[in-house]
Structure 1
Amino acid sequence: MNWSILRNELYLNRRTLLVWIIVLAGLMALFAGFTGMVLESNEDLLVVLEAYPKAFLDAFNFNAMSFASPEGWIASEPYLFLTLLLACFAAVMAGSSISREVDKKTGEFLFAIPATRRSIYYTKALSHLIMLTMVFIFGAAAAFGVAAASAELTNAGGLLLVLFTAYPVSLAAGGVGYLVTSLIDNEKSAMFIGIGFVLVSFFFKTIAAFSESLRWLANLSIFEAFNPNTILASRSLPFWGTVILLAVYVIGLMAGGEILVRKNLTM
């Protein structure tokens, strides 16, 4: 671990970090700010839901519980956006990790310092983990805090667990990004592949809800690992869903590191 590289990475990405924190926290606060209105319009919104097919509602986390309690509301659309945006952030940061250095020719200086490629790689990964954690904390805190201020929470523990699941989902997206960053030398291509993985994964989850014959596609989606309503009811995290997502992150991270160590870099 190289602490000077860690400090430099955090410094260089400070503006990106600040923008993501403001955008995500602001969006979550905006969604959570509708909590009181949603609860007051519960019956009217349920009538509106009846006009949509169940598959469409399932794809976007909408159900009768979404308008029955503040926890149910946050676990629907706000949670979906938190998870989706956080996964995109993780994929972008991981995907541009090494590919940016090669693409912009800055790797010639970076990899010339007295530190191994593996040390540099994992130091950059640690900086991304720190930034991802900060974005997640501010986003989740905004959603939880504003919701708690807008209405009385009866299942605060369950809601915290639901919000927490956005973190391992984003880690899995980051794992795919790390695998790509050592394979692709173009920064934009690596970033687009990472974001593409997130969007395709979300598309699989969505399309699987519309047809029983396509239900198997949900098994390929990182967004299918957790069911917010089930977590709210049980107040516990599914073991295998958590393990699989963390495994995707660790395997992708380690594979990307090994590819970088063995790769013939041309600047």
Structure 2
Amino acid sequence: MNIIKRELESDFKSIIIWSISMILLIIAVMTEFDAFRDSPAINDVLDSFPDAMLSALGFLDADMTTLTGFISLISLYIYLPLSIHASLLGSSIISKEERDKTAEFLFTLPISRKKVILNKIIAATLELISLNVVTVLTIIIISMRYNPSNEYYKFLSLLFIGIFISQLIFLSIGMSIASVIKRYKKSGNISLTILLVTYIISVLIGLTDKLNFLKYITPFEYFKASYIAGNLNLKLEYIVISLIIIAIGIISTFLFYPKRDLHL
């Protein structure tokens, strides 16, 4: 518990900065909804664009005059920053002891590395939940003025469950990379590179059906807001794949980090 508290206190400033950033971002993009809500013709404008382009941008089948359609439209502004945060958190929470020169102190305590890792995972998960909750509450508070339906709230809850699972995926990837890479300074860059590559793959899949077979390797395809908005559910196959990736990331962290030489 002391390690969890220590991690949360250490990252408190970062959590506040990310939370404020997400609040301001959501406020900025949600202010545009009034303009779209009062302009049904915007859907006709979108219909004039090629389906491949709209699919790549996540605009396909999105009714921008409704709250559900608009949130589906701006979901990229939620997925990307929260995934980036999770990826960076995963790599930093494992390598920070070397970066901050506290590894020698921490690992001389009567506690195993595996227990340290477990506590760090719990702390990181709590950080993800806090940022996720701040973001969804901001959206809900702003949405209340439009008297949304129960279906909207169901869509929002499913969307953020999907986002949270995506956060856990990139958290576990970041942690596993940091536990394997000997040079801790590179782990964050590699984690972000993987995230950006998977995002680019997702965009390319939207441009052509020929790359549809790649949808299983990019988390950005697992819980697409447009699918959730139209079906009000999450695909079981993607939940299973996500859990497998998360499990592999966590298990590899437990396997490799205790054996890795630390740079003190």
Q: More deviation in 91-100 or 152-161?
A: 152-161
In the alignment, what sits opposite 1:96?
92
Q: Given the alignment of the two structures, is residue 244 of structure 1 paired with residue 260 of structure 2, yes or no?
A: no
Deviation for aligned residue 1:10: 0.7
Q: More deviation in 88-97 or 236-245?
A: 236-245
In the alignment, what sits opposite 2:116?
120
Change (3 A) 1:63 1:209: closer
In the alignment, what sits opposite 1:17?
15
Deviation for aligned residue 1:69: 1.2
What do residues 27-75 of structure 1 show as CA deviations (whole Å, max 9, x unaligned)? 12322232222111121x2233244332221122113433141111101
Q: Distance in 1 between matches of 2:60 and 2:157?
A: 20
Q: CA RMSD in A?
A: 1.8
Matched position secondary structure for 1:260: helix
Change (3 A) 1:164 1:36: farther
Q: Which of 115, 125, 128 is equivalent to 1:129? A: 125
Query: Is the CA contact 1:83–1:167 (under 8 Å) kept in the aligned structure 2?
Result: no
Deviation for aligned residue 1:206: 0.1
Unpaired runs of 5+ in structure 1?
Answer: none
Deviation for aligned residue 1:12: 0.9
What do residues 56-107 of structure 1 show as CA deviations (whole Å, max 9, x unaligned)? 2112211343314111110122x11111111111110111122222244321
Q: Distance in 2 between matches of 1:150 and 1:188?
A: 46
Q: More deviation in 163-172 or 145-154?
A: 145-154
In the alignment, what sits opposite 1:32?
30
Q: Given the alignment of the two structures, is residue 234 of structure 1 paired with residue 231 of structure 2, yes or no?
A: yes
In the alignment, what sits opposite 1:111?
107
Aligned length: 263
What do residues 2-38 of structure 1 show as CA deviations (whole Å, max 9, x unaligned)? x111111111111000001111122123222322221
Unpaired runs of 5+ in structure 2?
Answer: none
Query: Is the CA contact 1:99–1:186 (under 8 Å) kept in the aligned structure 2?
Result: no
Q: Distance in 2 between matches of 1:35 and 1:182?
A: 43
Q: Given the alignment of the two structures, is residue 46 of structure 1 paired with residue 46 of structure 2, yes or no?
A: no
Deviation for aligned residue 1:255: 0.9
Query: Is the CA contact 1:33–1:146 (under 8 Å) kept in the aligned structure 2?
Result: no
Matched position secondary structure for 2:180: coil
Q: Given the alignment of the two structures, is residue 186 of structure 1 paired with residue 183 of structure 2, yes or no?
A: yes
Change (3 A) 1:259 1:73: same
Change (3 A) 1:30 1:164: farther
Give aligned-pair identity as a percent. 22
Deviation for aligned residue 1:243: 2.1
Query: Is the CA contact 2:89–2:124 (under 8 Å) kept in the aligned structure 1?
Result: yes
Q: Which of 60, 63, 72 is equivalent to 1:63? A: 60
In the alignment, what sits opposite 1:86?
82
In the alignment, what sits opposite 1:211?
208
Q: Distance in 1 between matches of 2:233 and 2:48?
A: 32
Query: Is the CA contact 2:182–2:260 (under 8 Å) kept in the aligned structure 1?
Result: no
Change (3 A) 1:167 1:24: same
Q: Distance in 2 between matches of 1:187 and 1:41?
A: 51
What is the TM-score of this pair, normalised by structure 2? 0.92
Q: Distance in 2 between matches of 1:237 and 1:169?
A: 13
The one-letter code matched in structure 1 to 2:8 is L
Q: Given the alignment of the two structures, is residue 177 of structure 1 paired with residue 146 of structure 2, yes or no?
A: no
Deviation for aligned residue 1:173: 0.8
Q: Distance in 1 between matches of 2:148 and 2:5?
A: 41
Change (3 A) 1:36 1:164: farther
The one-letter code matched in structure 2 to 1:112 is T
Q: Given the alignment of the two structures, is residue 223 of structure 1 paired with residue 220 of structure 2, yes or no?
A: yes
Q: More deviation in 137-146 or 87-96?
A: 137-146
Change (3 A) 1:148 1:33: farther
Matched position secondary structure for 2:62: helix
